[in-house]
Structure 1
Amino acid sequence: MAKPNMVFRARSRRRSFNVGLKTRSRSTGVYLADTFSVTPVLHLSLSARWNRTELRLRDQIGTALTGDHAYARLNLGAGMAWNVTDDATAYAAYAENNRAPTPAELSCADPQTLCRFPNAFLSDPPLDDVVARTWETGVRGRTGTVAWSGALFRTDLADDIIFISAGPIMGSGYFANVGDTRREGVELDLSRETGPVRWFASYGYVRATYQTAFQIQAPDNPAADANGEISVRPGDRIPGQPLHSLKLGADWDVAAPLTVGLDLQLSSSRYLRGDEANLTKPLSGFAVAGVHASWRRGPVELWLRVSNLFDAEYETFGIYGDADELGFDDPRFLSPGAPRSLLIGLRAKL
């Protein structure tokens, strides 16, 4: 289990990434749940689930990857639903869940022997399973032709596992339990169907943060210290996770066989992997629009979709790497979003 102010270091040396690994996993679960109606409008639920996961790893080249691991836990849950009116319900819930490390994570968890994620695994030290505790409360209902819902949530993860980029080769590093992390936020949904027109709007605010302080190697991050390390503090945002996201869409039945529609996806900025301490400029947010249409005649449907209608240029992921190795100056390696695309298809129900 990771402790506050842990320091994660790795050897910065090259090595072969040849791998031969055979794995087997077995999961067993026992689940009990029941709902009690305290009054005609108030309902309580209780649940319990016992999970056990067994992982067997056998190295096909040497012995470094060979190991057996077992994880077991009892997860509890409770909830309440209150029918405020015939068209509105308020609810609150608490739930626990656990996730056992995957064979890939277990086989890539030694900071002294880096692996190349996700293509190679080198070493087999144990990792703790991740335990999530989630609180959620919200309301949902319908007003006339409008359906709506809103929710507040918080998920605290103990012994969360992340991939720590380290070493001289881009994409190399190791998995580690880094302590506690948190995801908390708001989800809002609105939709309406009136005659031939249907539309929806969905907004999400998710703040994903580290809750445990630690130091890791990030030699390619220009804001790292003289030792090539960065210090992560509680409250720093987890890379790759945008704060805000918004989805909008609408469909219009123009005529009996023809339907046309449009959609819009917006996402705010996100930090690059290798900048867990949020020291450098994040990736910019983006907006992507699309249109679609379908023509139906009996059991046959002809459909068309144009994604990224305006051919926007944007990035969905970024990582810091060794630019000199590839002859570049900028250590930011970015994954571009998909360009404009056109798909045409035919469906038939028989």
Structure 2
Amino acid sequence: LSVYASYADANRAPTPAELTCASPAAPCSLAQFFAGDPNLQQVVSHTIEAGLRGQSQPFEGATLSSEIAFFRSTLDNDIAFVNSPIQGRGFFENVGTTLRQGVDINLRLKTDRLLAWLGYSYIDATFQSGFTVSSPNNPAADANGNIQVQKGNHLPGIPANLIKLGTDYKLTEAWTIGGTGVAASGRFLFGDEANLTPKTPAYFVLSLHTSYQLTPNLQLFGLLQNAFNTTYYSFGTFSPTSSVFLAQAPGAANPRSYSPGAPIAGTVGLRLTF
């Protein structure tokens, strides 16, 4: 068993794309040219991490590796892309301090035939400064199309809970089967930095794979991604329902817009190594 801890300070300068689209008076849909927009402050991070690592033999012929890490990272002058009152446009701005803190847990079991792993992450990602931002398509916005972000509101797009797991098993010396899975809790939509509307749905996606070693240099493999054809969403925001006609959804009134994940897909191939 070993114990470790670290502390780090880091900074990053605003990118050219951020600097060329940083004016509320001149929002953009895509930063593609250089202009004299207001300067942005550099982002400064302060990160502390501590944890435990260990290895044991739960039974004969097996090795179990484990790690748990606690982290806390504060970003001063964090930069976010926020909406403009002008439809379809936005701009980058410093939004004060943000905080990301949580825990990572990883387990890995290995035997002669089996390899299995499990990872869990909890992250509490919050704004630590209040500000007002335009979100005209958010149904919870005020009469001016604004929302009030408070200290403690969660950052959009970041699930609080994330689980990744997988396994490989050797049926024979040449043939291996396995699978991987990802589970994530819901996340707040972009444009809802004030956390006024429901999160996206939680999801679990399972993928399967197999391989057969035909020769020392030639392998036949197969992949089945999203094996149960799970419907899930990796991103969410708000979109106008009246200014753009949607032939696929005439009369649409719900501004919540999701980006769907990839559906079921299969791949079979040969892998040649030298």
Q: TM-score, normalised by structure 1?
A: 0.73
Q: Which residue of 2 aligns with 1:139?
A: 52
Q: Which residue of 2 aligns with 1:345?
A: 269
Could you report, residue by residue, the CA deviation over 1:90-140 in whole angstroms, capped at 9, with x for unpaired residues? 011100111111111111100111100466776522111111110111000
Q: Which residue of 2 aligns with 1:324?
A: 242
Distance 1:130 1:318 in 2: 25
More displaced stretch, 111-120 vs 203-212: 111-120
User: How far did 1:233 drift?
Assistant: 0.6
Q: Which residue of 1 aligns with 2:90?
A: 173
Q: Which residue of 2 aligns with 1:306?
A: 224
2:123 paired with 1:206: yes
Q: Which residue of 1 aligns with 2:77?
A: 159
Write the mapping of 1:17-166 to structure 2, written as runs, cut at 5 A: 88-117=1-30, 124-144=37-57, 145-166=63-84
Amino acid at match of 2:149: V
Q: Which residue of 2 aligns with 1:253?
A: 170
For residue 326 of structure 1, give the secondary structure of its aligned residue in structure 2. coil
User: How far did 1:210 drift?
Assistant: 0.3
2:142 paired with 1:229: no
Q: Which residue of 2 aligns with 1:72?
A: none
Q: Which residue of 2 aligns with 1:6?
A: none
User: How far did 1:169 drift?
Assistant: 2.7
CA RMSD, 1 decimal: 1.4
User: How far did 1:323 drift?
Assistant: 1.7
- Which residues of structure 2 form unaligned runs of 5+? 58-62, 246-251
Distance 1:222-1:119 versus aligned 2 partners, 3 A rule: farther
Amino acid at match of 1:224: A
Q: Where has structure 1 moved over 4 Å in runs of 4 or more?
A: 118-123
Q: Which residue of 1 aligns with 2:249?
A: none
Amino acid at match of 1:175: F
More displaced stretch, 158-167 vs 236-245: 158-167
Distance 1:270 1:119 in 2: 30
Distance 1:303 1:247 in 2: 22
Amino acid at match of 1:341: A
Distance 2:136 2:32 in 1: 22
User: How far did 1:165 drift?
Assistant: 1.6
Q: Which residue of 1 aligns with 2:189?
A: 272
Amino acid at match of 1:284: P
Amino acid at match of 2:122: Y
Could you report, residue by residue, the CA deviation over 1:281-319 in whole angstroms, capped at 9, with x for unpaired residues? 110111000000111121111211111000011111011
User: How far did 1:346 drift?
Assistant: 1.9
User: How far did 1:321 drift?
Assistant: 2.1
User: How far did 1:262 drift?
Assistant: 0.9
Amino acid at match of 2:185: S
Indicate conservation of the 8 Å contact 2:85/2:145, yes or no: no
User: How far did 1:178 drift?
Assistant: 0.5
More displaced stretch, 294-303 vs 260-269: 294-303
For residue 193 of structure 2, give the secondary structure of its aligned residue in structure 1. coil
Amino acid at match of 2:6: A
Q: Which residue of 2 aligns with 1:22?
A: none
For residue 323 of structure 1, give the secondary structure of its aligned residue in structure 2. coil
Q: 1:335 aligns with which of 246, 259, 265?
A: 259
User: How far did 1:248 drift?
Assistant: 1.0
User: How far did 1:159 drift?
Assistant: 0.1
User: How far did 1:263 drift?
Assistant: 1.1
Distance 1:134-1:118 versus aligned 2 partners, 3 A rule: same
Distance 1:196 1:317 in 2: 38
Indicate conservation of the 8 Å contact 1:115/1:121, yes or no: no
Could you report, residue by residue, the CA deviation over 1:14-39 in whole angstroms, capped at 9, with x for unpaired residues? xxxxxxxxxxxxxxxxxxxxxxxxxx
Distance 2:7 2:24 in 1: 35
Could you report, residue by residue, the CA deviation over 1:171-216 in whole angstroms, capped at 9, with x for unpaired residues? x200000000010000000011112011000000011110001011
Distance 2:47 2:102 in 1: 12
Distance 2:3 2:272 in 1: 41
Indicate conservation of the 8 Å contact 1:114/1:122, yes or no: no
